[in-house]
Amino acid sequence: MSGKFSRKLTLTFVVLTVAAILLTGLAANVILNWNFRRYLRSTQEAQNKRIIETLEELYRDATSWQAVRHSTWYVGTTTGTQIQVFDLHGQLIADSLTGMMQGMHGMRWRRAGEQRGNTYEYSLLINGQQVGTVEITHLEQEGLFDREALLFRNTVAQAMAVAALVLTVAALLAGKLLSEKLTVGLARMSEAARRLGRGDLSARVEVAGDDELAVLAGSMNEMAARLQEQNSLRKKLTGDISHELRTPLTTVQSYLEAFRDGVMPADEKNLAAVLEETHRLGNLVSDLQELAVVDHRKPAKTVIVNLNEFVMKEAERFRAGMERSQIVFHCRPAREDARIRADEEMLAKVIGNLLSNALKYTPGGGEVAVEVFADGKQAGFTVRDSGIGVAREHLPYIFERFYRADPSRSRATGGFGIGLALVQELVRSMGGVVSVQSEPGKGSEFRVEFPLVP
């Protein structure tokens, strides 16, 4: 493929160069001819002027045609023209050519006469009075100048031919170099694409320079990197899910085997433990379902939401739980209007997840506060707690799926590390951002903000 492309490119280069040379040659020829003709005309006219002046002088001095008749031949011979003088009645008085042809160079002038050039006609004036007309024909002059012009044109043509040869070779080389550069890049890309297609997601293209090919290679690398990232995420997710499923399942299995073998009594306490594990399984499945839904859904039913009312109403659902855990719970609306555009179901889920985390990770006697805010352009809410906080090294990852800062602890509280991932996905899909600030032992603050609707 690259061979064909390279050949086509080189051929285009050569064709273009040859066409350019031919066009330049043609234009040069036309302009040269035009200029030569102009030059010829102007020199002929200057010569004619001198001839007429001589004839007028001769007539004036002798006041007869006799002198003119005698001198016409001489003037014609020396100037290489045929001069024909007519009187006022149109009668031919003198013709230099007939005179010339009788002379020594008769044959030469007869031949010259066959190649007639431009003929000019003038009035012969003596003291402002017309006494006759003169026709001057330049013999061989066209040919004479053509010979010079031809010589010049030939020189130009030769120079052009040399230039054409040099340029064609240059075009061939340039075309080859350029096409090689292009095809090498293309070949690398198609090789990488082939490897990617075969499933080798580590394939990358070497990027050099900043031309369109380099941009294309860059985009291709980016695409490959994303594919690789998605692929490893998918693998990790599958691993995480199976791990999360196995733990409660193993527990249930071992309880049931113990009941069957009579090692453990199937009493109320043990059955409650089995039931709890099945609840965990149920929770995991529903969390996964929600993640799957978020992955495939855009905020469908966005409406204008008054955060002051909505957040307060959703937060109130947690009051009983907070009180049961002996946590002081504050809810503060903003003083300003805080309206945003959101999907109410999604927004309720965001508030619910953040508050259930605050409840989970704040020991009794602690404090949880929900506050709505609105500044010039943004509106949102914060969920602050005085709980266990998140260590700095875990903070950048807590929004990732299945990430838990302290797996044993969060398992004890029934978490799978999906809650915050869901929060982030939901907030993002509604055009907002979620951020966190936390200090271990002191507490955390989650901040969710959206563009304010005026």
Contact residues toward ligand ADP (CB under 6 A) are 357-358, 361, 385, 387-390, 398, 403-406, 410, 415-421, 444
Report the nearest approach of ligand ADP to the CB of residue 259 (Å).
Answer: 30
Beta bridge partners of 372: 381
Report the nearest approach of ligand ADP to the CB of residue 449 (Å).
Answer: 18
Q: What are the residues whose beta carbons fall under 8 Å from the beta carbon of 367, sequence distance 6 or more?
A: 327, 328, 329, 330, 385, 386
Pairing outcome for strands 367-374 and 328-332 = parallel
Cβ distance to ligand ADP smaller for residue 9 or 390: 390
Structure tokens at 112: 């010259």
Exposure on the CB side of residue 349, measured as CA atoms within 13 A: 23
Report the nearest approach of ligand ADP to the CB of residue 316 (Å).
Answer: 19
Cβ distance to ligand ADP smaller for residue 209 or 407: 407
Helix residue ranges, H only, 63-140? 65-79, 96-102, 106-114
Report the nearest approach of ligand ADP to the CB of residue 446 (Å).
Answer: 7
Note the residue count of the chain: 454
Cβ distance to ligand ADP smaller for residue 84 or 357: 357
Cβ distance to ligand ADP smaller for residue 175 or 366: 366
Report the nearest approach of ligand ADP to the CB of residue 282 (Å).
Answer: 14
Give me the amino acid identity at 282: G
Cβ distance to ligand ADP smaller for residue 72 or 357: 357
Pairing outcome for strands 116-126 and 129-139 = antiparallel
Q: What is the dihedral of CA 418, 424, 430, 432, to 10 degrees?
A: 160
Contact 338, 379 (CB under 8 A): yes
Element (H, E) at 241: helix 212-260
State the residue number with the nearest CB to ligand ADP. 415
Report the nearest approach of ligand ADP to the CB of residue 418 (Å).
Answer: 6
Report the nearest approach of ligand ADP to the CB of residue 388 (Å).
Answer: 5
Beta bridge partners of 446: 383, 436
Cβ distance to ligand ADP smaller for residue 94 or 398: 398
Phi first, then psi: what are they for 340, rounded to 5°? Answer: -135, 170
Cβ distance to ligand ADP smaller for residue 79 or 444: 444
Contact 137, 76 (CB under 8 A): no
